[in-house]
């Protein structure tokens, strides 16, 4: 038996002009052709989210119990940029090709927590035929632009152009795409409201979506409490 492991690769990014780290969960008895989950950290996080959530232990247990099919889980460093601009180019033109060439992956999923949930939904709606399943876990989606967030976008028009709540009204999503949304009922950002709005707009368009309102706050402990549910969704 070849045990599971966490790989760390460093990408010399031409797009960003610096070295960027990516952590990757490789399951027990790894073989080519496995699905891959790109899992995005929050605004103050980095690729070490794979350790903070103890993804290796949780995924190993679930695979051994038959509750999850083996898959790669990739956590790229995205810094505090909401995945916009050059970071989007970096992800699609460097992270994905490098990972998928090295590990010979098959279908793709994308998800994330907080700001990472915003990134995942934004990318999936603007590149809809690249991802099979999509998740936003306490995702930072709002229907009003916060003044503190304006510097990420530059203009309100750019905010709208990248906001999943507005993107969903004009993009065409494949009938096979599945979307998972969730947030805590005491989420300090009130992101459960954005989840409810987005779920309603997706359902109207006939998209397969599930939205979960759970107990909890906007914390890493909330994500830990529901990690198994997320992995069952992505790796079913």
Please name the fold of domain 5-234. Rossmann fold (3.40.50)
Strand-pairing partners, residue 111, are 39, 135
Q: Each residue of 113-171: pLDDT tens digit?
A: 999 999 999 999 999 999 999 999 999 999 999 888 889 999 999 999 999 999 999 99
Decide: 141 and 195 in contact? Cβ < 8 Å.
Answer: yes
pTM score of the predicted model: 0.97
pLDDT at 209 > cutoff 90: yes
Q: How high is the pLDDT of residue 148?
A: 86
Per-residue pLDDT of 63-81, as tens digits, reads: 999 999 999 999 999 999 9
**pLDDT greater than 80 at residue 233:** yes
Sign of the four-CA dihedral 231, 215, 136, 74:
negative
């Amino acid at each position: 038996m070849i045990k599971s492991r966490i790989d760390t690769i460093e990408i010399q990014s031409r797009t960003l002009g610096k070295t960027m780290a990516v952590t990757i969960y490789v399951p027990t008895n790894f073989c080519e052709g496995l699905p891959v989950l790109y899992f995005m950290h929050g605004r103050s996080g980095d690729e070490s989210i794979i350790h903070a959530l103890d993804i290796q232990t949780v995924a190993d247990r679930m695979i051994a119990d038959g509750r999850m099919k083996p898959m790669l889980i990739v956590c790229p460093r995205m810094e505090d940029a909401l995945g916009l601009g050059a970071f989007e180019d970096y992800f699609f033109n460097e992270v994905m090709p490098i990972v998928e060439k090295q590990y010979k992956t098959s279908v793709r999923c994308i998800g994330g927590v907080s700001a990472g949930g915003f990134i995942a939904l934004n990318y999936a709606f603007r590149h809809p035929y690249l991802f099979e399943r999509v998740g936003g876990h306490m995702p930072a989606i709002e229907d009003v632009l916060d003044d503190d967030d304006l510097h990420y976008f530059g203009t309100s028009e750019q905010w709208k152009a990248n906001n999943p709540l507005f993107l969903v009204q004009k993009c065409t999503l494949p009938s096979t795409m599945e979307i998972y949304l969730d947030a805590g009922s005491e989420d300090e950002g009130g992101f459960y409201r954005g989840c409810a709005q987005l779920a309603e707009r997706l359902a109207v368009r006939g998209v397969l979506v599930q939205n979960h309102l759970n107990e909890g706050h906007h914390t890493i402990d909330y994500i830990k409490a529901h990690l198994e549910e997320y992995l069952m969704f992505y790796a079913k």
